[in-house]
A and B are shown apart, each in its own frame.
Chain A
């Protein structure tokens, strides 16, 4: 099956610093990748859709200047949380879409961000 990796799996950073999270599709090419945020005991909320070679499309209420997304290749998308604050602490999950008949999205294992 298709595999998506995320790095790092956990990160702790100080308030005001920036953190970069990588999402890679390991055995398939993903023209579209998605970034989700999940707060404790809540569902996944789509933050943005990332298409290779073009600007990301952000969901309403998501600050594009705070959450920078780059999808430079067919196998790599990055999410940078700029000037992180404690309220940005969350579980960030990426997914990559296969072009199969079900349009299934393959999820990465997630990154737990803690901002102190």
Chain B
């Protein structure tokens, strides 16, 4: 079975600083994908970044980067130069099992302070 663990229920960061949100995963599949989503208070799920299990380079998308450490089964999200609008819930998710199901972690609530 696949599992995502996010151990930080809440994090806060000062505006313009960088923050790392932790995510570890467990899967017996050789091929899988890791996603990070942002969910603001409005409830919509916003896709941030994707990392494939065979990708050797860490994924980056603007201010978002994924620190992928395959041996440690870790896929931490790094947000650089935090903005007030980054305050939201952040979910890590794994897509495996034949790419059929997306399994989410418990989420981390990020608060960006001015």
Contacts and interface: CB of A to CB of B under 8 A. Distances in A.
Given A103-B33, A103-B95, A46 B101 contact: yes
* Secondary structure class of chain A's binding surface, majority of residues: strand
Chain A's interface size range is 20 to 34
A8 to B, nearest CB: 13
Contacts of B107: 43
A103 B35 CA distance: 11
A54 interface: no
A109 B100 contact: no
A60 B50 CA distance: 27
B106 A104 contact: no
A95 B102 CA distance: 10
A45 B100 CA distance: 14
B104 interface: yes
Interface residues of B, number: 21
A7 interface: no
A43 B106 contact: yes
B43 A102 contact: no
A49 interface: yes
30 contacts: A34-B102, A38-B43, A42-B106, A43-B91, A43-B104, A43-B105, A43-B107, A44-B91, A44-B104, A45-B104, A46-B101, A46-B102, A49-B100, A93-B45, A95-B45, A103-B33, A103-B99, A104-B35, A104-B47, A104-B50, A105-B95, A105-B102, A106-B47, A107-B37, A107-B44, A107-B47, A109-B43, A109-B44, A110-B43, A112-B43
Interface of B: 33, 35, 37, 42-45, 47, 50, 52, 91, 95, 99-107
Interface of A: 34, 38, 42-46, 49, 91, 93, 95, 102-107, 109-110, 112
